[in-house]
C-alpha cells in the first residue's frame, strides 16, 4: 500500500529561470532550493537583485502582497503555499524611449476625443494641455513588472506639430515604448519597426523632444530611413520622444454648405464623396469649383458625372484642395408622363425644351402633349403663384422660372368614366352601413360590366346585394346585372358593354328584420341566422295582447311579397307584422265613433222636433 501525503507547499517560479513552473517543496526547502534545484538556476539575463515574491490573499490578510528581495542577500523570505516567485529580465529595467504619433501602438485619447484626435499640421496646436503619459502597471517584456514614466508630458502644454499645410486631420494618436541601450541611434531603432509607421505619417517633418527641453529637433525620417541619409541620424538619450506627425490628407469645403469644414480624404476620394454630406437644399452641383494648392481653379458639373458617368466631372481630389459650392439659380420640377421625372438644376440659357429632351429624356408613349400644366410658385401676378395649361407642340420654348413645376398628363386621363353607386366602399358594421357611396371608374372602350366588377371587387362587402344589381343608362333605362354571378361563378351570361355615363347600382343587403304591428316595441332588429318569427317577436317585447289575439302575424320578404310563415326561417329585410285582431280592441276603436254619431243624430232629431 502506497500512501501519498497531502502537499504542504506548492509554489511557482517564473521569469528568467531555466525551468519555470509550479513545484511542491519539501519541509525545510526555501527560495534558494526553488531557484537552484527546481528552477535549475537563474539565467544570465535575470536581474536577481530585484526578485519579486507575490503572496495571495488569505483569510487573515484579505489583500495580496508583493515583496522585492535580493536573491544573493541575507534574510530571504520564507515561502508559503501558493506563493509566486518571479525573476525579472534586466531589459525590463532599461530606460525607455518613445515613438509616438502616426504609429501602430497603444492608442492615446487626447482632448476627450476618445481615440480619434484631430491633429493639425504647420504649427497646428495640439488642443490638450500637458497630457501625462502614465505607464503605471504597463508590462514590458514580462508579467507583473511595470515601468512608470513620472508625469512625463508631451514636451509642454500646447505642443505644436509641424507639417506643410494648416489642415486638420482625423487620426489615431498612438505610442510605442522601446527599451534604451547605450549607443542606440534613430536609424537602428526605427528600421526594424518601419511596418509600425502608418501610411498617413509625415516622415519629412518628424522631430525629437528631449527630457527637460521644450525645443524640437527636426529630423527627416523620409531621407533617413529610405534614402539612407545619415545626416539625420544621431544617438538617442533615455526618455527621448520621437514624434511622427500625420501628413496633410484633407480638403476644405465651403460656400453653400451646411458648414465649412476640413474633410479627410484618401488617394481615391472623389469630389461627390466629399461634398454630398454638406449639401443644402439650395446647393448647386452644376458648377462646383475646385482650387488646388497651386491656385489653379476648375469647375465641374456633377450632374454629368451622375447621369452620363463622366468621371472627368467627378475628379479625384488632392490634399489641400479648396472646394466651393454655389447656390443654384434655376431649379425646375417635371413630373407625369416623362421618362425621367424629377427635379433638375438648369444651366443659364436652358428652358422647357432642354428640360424635357435632355433632362427628362423625353415624353412617354402615353403623354398628352396638348394639356401640359405649369405652376409658377414665384409669380409677379399673384403672391401665391399661378397655374396655366398649354400645348407643348405649340409652345416648346415656354420661359421657365425658379421653382416652376411642370406636369405632363396621360392620355388615359381622357378615358370615359362609369360609376359604382350604392353599397360600395362600406362595411357591414358601423353606425350607418346604409350610407350610399358613389365611386368613379375609368374604363377602356369595349370593357364590360363583368370586367369592371372584377376590377373593383374590393369595393363590395357583406352588405352589397350583388345579385340584385342593375345598370342605369344615361337615358334612364335599367338593365339587371347579376354581379355575384360575374365575380364568384365566372358566369358571363347577361354581361353588358359599358358606355360613358353608365351607373352600376348595387343595392344594400341589410342585416335587419322589421317587427311592426301589435307588439310592445316595434322596430328594426339585427338579423340572426336560423331564427323563426317568434324570436324577433320576443325581441320586440312580445305581442300586445290588448290588440292581438291568437298570435296572428303576417311576414313580408325584402320585395314586400307575402310569404308562408310555416316552419320558415326569417331572412334579412323580412317584415313581421303582428295583426291587431282583438275584438275588444276593434270595438274600442269604433265605440267612440258610434257614440259621436248617435249623439249627433239625437241632437238633429231634437232640433227638428222643436221646429215642427
Q: Please write the tens of the pLDDT for every residue from 480-510.
A: 999 999 999 989 999 999 999 999 999 887 7
pLDDT at 245: 87
pLDDT at 117: 35
pLDDT at 111: 39
Q: Hey, what's the cell of 59?
A: 483569510
**Lowest-confidence segment of 5-19, 153-167, 179-193, 459-473 by average pLDDT:** 153-167
- Digit-coded pLDDT (tens) for 337-349: 999 999 999 999 9
pLDDT at 5: 55
List the one residue out of 465, 471, 501 whose CA is nearest residue 485. 465
Residue 117 makes CB contacts below 8 A (sequence gap 6+) with: 108, 109, 110, 111, 170, 171, 172, 173
pLDDT band at 75 (very low <50, low <70, confident <90, very high): confident
Mean pLDDT for 375-388 is 90
CATH architecture of 415-506: Roll (3.10)
**Lowest-confidence segment of 5-14, 193-202, 512-521 by average pLDDT:** 5-14
Mean pLDDT for 523-550 is 87
Mean pLDDT for 331-335 is 96
Looking at 394-482, list the stretches that DSSP marks H as alpha helix, in order from N- to C-terminal side. 449-455
Whether 612 has a pLDDT exceeding 70, the answer reads no
Mean pLDDT for 371-396 is 92
pLDDT at 435: 74
Q: In CATH, which of 3.40.50.970, 3.40.640.10, 3.90.1210.10, 3.10.20.600 is domain 9-92? A: 3.10.20.600
pLDDT at 146: 32
Whether 452 has a pLDDT exceeding 60, the answer reads yes
Whether 135 has a pLDDT exceeding 60, the answer reads no
Q: Hey, what's the cell of 535?
A: 324570436
State the Cα–Cα distance between residues 578 and 397, nearest whole angstrom.
79
Whether 298 has a pLDDT exceeding 70, the answer reads yes
pLDDT at 7: 55
Given CATH 2.20.25.650, say whether it is the number of domain 331-413: no
Whether 120 has a pLDDT exceeding 60, the answer reads no
Mean pLDDT for 220-249 is 89
State the Cα–Cα distance between residues 14 and 88, nearest whole angstrom.
9
- Separation of CA 8 from chain center: 65
Whether 368 has a pLDDT exceeding 80, the answer reads yes
Q: Hey, what's the cell of 313?
A: 466631372
pLDDT at 433: 52
pLDDT at 427: 58
Q: Hey, what's the cell of 612?
A: 215642427
Whether 123 has a pLDDT exceeding 50, the answer reads no
pLDDT at 141: 33
pLDDT at 248: 67
The count of C-alpha atoms lying within 13 angstroms of the C-alpha of 390, restricted to the half-sphere facing its C-beta, is: 14
Where residue 212 falls (left for φ over 0; alpha for ψ -120 to 50; beta otherwise) is left
pLDDT at 1: 52
pLDDT at 147: 32
* Alpha-carbon torsion (55, 59, 63, 67), positive or negative: negative
Q: Hey, what's the cell of 91?
A: 531589459
Q: Please answer whether residues 556 and 565 qualify as being in contact, where contact means their C-beta atoms are separated by less than 8 angstroms.
A: no
Q: Please answer whether residues 503 and 515 qualify as being in contact, where contact means their C-beta atoms are separated by less than 8 angstroms.
A: no
The SS3 assignment for 557 reads: coil
Mean pLDDT for 315-327 is 93
- Of the chain, the percentage scoring pLDDT greater than 70 comes to 86
pLDDT band at 281 (very low <50, low <70, confident <90, very high): very high
Whether 246 has a pLDDT exceeding 90, the answer reads no
List the one residue out of 184, 186, 179 whose CA is nearest residue 93. 179
- Digit-coded pLDDT (tens) for 249-264: 789 999 999 999 999 8
Whether 533 has a pLDDT exceeding 70, the answer reads yes
In DSSP terms, 525 is beta-bridged to 513
Mean pLDDT of the chain: 83
Mean pLDDT for 232-245 is 92
Whether 133 has a pLDDT exceeding 80, the answer reads no
State the Cα–Cα distance between residues 438 and 11, nearest whole angstrom.
95
Q: Where are the domains of the chain?
A: 9-92, 94-244, 250-325, 331-413, 415-506, 512-581
State the Cα–Cα distance between residues 30 and 22, nearest whole angstrom.
14
Looking at per-residue pLDDT, the higher value among 150 and 610 belongs to: 610
CATH hierarchy code of domain 250-325: 3.10.560.10
CATH hierarchy code of domain 512-581: 3.10.560.10
State the Cα–Cα distance between residues 217 and 222, nearest whole angstrom.
15
- Digit-coded pLDDT (tens) for 16-35: 999 999 999 999 999 999 99
Identical topology for domains 331-413 and 512-581: yes
The SS3 assignment for 142 reads: coil
Residue 5 CB burial class (10 angstroms; 0-12, 13-18, ≥19): exposed
Amino acid at each position: 500500500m502506497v500512501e501519498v501525503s497531502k502537499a504542504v507547499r506548492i509554489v511557482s517560479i517564473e521569469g528568467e529561470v531555466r525551468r519555470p513552473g509550479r513545484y511542491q517543496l519539501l519541509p525545510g526547502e526555501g527560495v534558494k532550493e526553488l531557484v537552484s534545484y527546481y528552477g535549475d538556476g537563474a539565467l544570465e539575463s535575470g536581474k536577481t537583485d530585484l526578485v519579486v515574491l507575490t503572496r495571495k490573499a488569505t483569510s487573515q490578510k484579505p489583500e495580496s502582497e508583493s515583496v522585492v528581495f535580493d536573491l544573493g542577500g541575507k534574510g530571504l523570505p520564507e515561502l508559503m503555499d501558493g506563493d509566486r516567485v518571479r525573476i525579472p529580465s534586466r531589459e525590463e529595467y532599461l530606460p525607455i524611449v518613445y515613438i509616438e504619433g502616426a504609429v501602430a501602438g497603444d492608442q492615446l485619447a487626447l482632448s476627450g476625443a476618445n481615440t480619434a484626435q484631430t491633429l493639425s499640421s504647420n504649427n497646428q496646436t495640439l488642443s490638450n494641455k500637458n497630457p501625462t503619459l502614465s505607464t503605471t502597471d504597463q508590462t514590458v517584456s514580462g508579467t507583473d513588472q511595470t515601468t512608470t514614466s513620472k508625469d512625463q508630458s508631451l514636451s509642454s502644454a500646447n505642443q505644436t506639430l509641424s507639417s506643410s499645410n494648416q489642415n486638420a486631420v482625423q487620426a489615431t494618436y498612438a505610442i510605442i515604448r522601446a527599451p534604451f541601450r547605450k549607443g542606440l541611434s534613430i536609424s537602428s531603432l526605427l528600421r526594424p519597426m518601419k511596418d509600425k509607421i502608418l501610411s498617413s505619417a509625415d516622415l519629412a517633418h518628424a522631430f525629437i523632444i528631449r527630457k527637460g527641453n521644450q525645443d524640437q529637433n527636426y529630423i527627416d525620417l523620409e531621407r533617413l530611413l529610405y534614402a539612407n541619409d545619415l545626416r539625420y541620424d544621431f544617438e538617442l538619450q533615455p526618455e527621448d520622444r520621437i514624434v511622427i506627425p500625420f501628413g496633410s490628407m484633407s480638403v476644405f469645403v465651403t460656400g453653400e454648405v451646411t458648414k465649412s469644414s476640413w474633410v479627410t480624404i484618401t488617394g481615391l476620394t472623389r469630389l461627390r464623396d466629399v461634398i454630398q454630406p454638406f449639401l443644402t437644399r439650395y446647393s448647386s452641383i452644376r458648377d462646383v469649383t475646385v482650387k488646388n494648392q497651386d491656385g489653379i481653379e476648375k469647375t465641374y458639373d456633377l450632374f454629368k458625372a451622375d447621369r452620363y458617368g463622366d468621371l472627368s466631372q467627378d475628379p479625384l481630389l488632392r490634399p489641400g484642395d479648396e472646394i466651393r459650392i454655389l447656390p443654384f439659380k434655376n431649379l425646375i420640377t417635371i413630373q407625369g408622363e416623362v421618362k425621367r421625372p424629377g427635379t433638375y438644376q438648369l444651366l443659364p440659357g436652358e428652358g422647357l425644351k432642354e428640360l424635357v429632351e435632355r433632362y427628362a429624356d423625353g415624353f412617354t408613349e402615353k403623354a398628352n402633349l396638348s394639356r401640359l400644366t405649369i405652376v409658377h410658385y414665384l409669380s409677379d401676378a399673384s403672391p401665391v403663384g399661378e397655374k396655366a395649361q398649354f400645348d407643348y407642340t405649340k409652345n416648346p420654348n415656354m420661359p421657365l422660372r425658379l421653382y416652376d413645376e411642370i406636369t405632363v398628363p396621360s392620355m388615359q386621363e381622357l378615358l370615359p368614366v362609369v360609376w359604382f353607386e350604392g353599397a360600395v366602399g362600406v362595411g357591414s358594421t358601423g353606425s350607418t352601413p346604409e350610407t350610399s357611396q358613389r365611386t368613379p371608374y375609368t374604363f377602356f372602350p369595349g370593357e364590360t360590366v363583368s370586367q369592371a366588377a372584377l376590377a373593383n371587387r374590393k369595393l363590395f362587402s357583406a352588405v352589397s346585394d350583388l345579385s340584385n344589381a342593375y345598370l342605369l343608362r344615361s337615358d334612364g333605362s335599367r338593365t339587371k346585372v347579376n354581379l355575384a354571378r360575374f365575380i364568384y361563378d365566372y358566369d358571363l351570361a347577361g354581361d353588358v358593354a359599358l358606355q360613358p355615363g353608365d351607373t352600376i347600382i348595387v343595392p344594400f343587403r341589410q342585416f335587419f328584420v322589421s317587427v311592426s304591428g301589435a307588439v310592445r316595441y316595434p322596430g328594426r332588429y339585427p338579423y340572426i341566422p336560423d331564427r323563426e318569427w317568434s324570436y324577433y317577436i320576443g325581441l320586440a317585447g312580445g305581442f300586445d295582447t290588448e290588440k292581438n289575439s291568437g298570435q296572428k302575424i303576417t311576414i313580408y320578404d325584402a320585395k314586400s311579397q307575402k310569404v308562408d310563415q310555416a316552419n320558415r326561417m326569417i331572412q334579412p329585410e323580412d317584415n313581421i307584422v303582428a295583426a291587431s285582431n282583438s275584438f275588444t280592441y276593434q270595438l274600442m276603436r269604433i265605440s267612440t265613433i258610434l257614440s259621436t254619431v248617435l249623439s249627433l243624430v239625437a241632437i238633429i232629431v231634437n232640433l227638428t222636433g222643436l221646429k215642427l
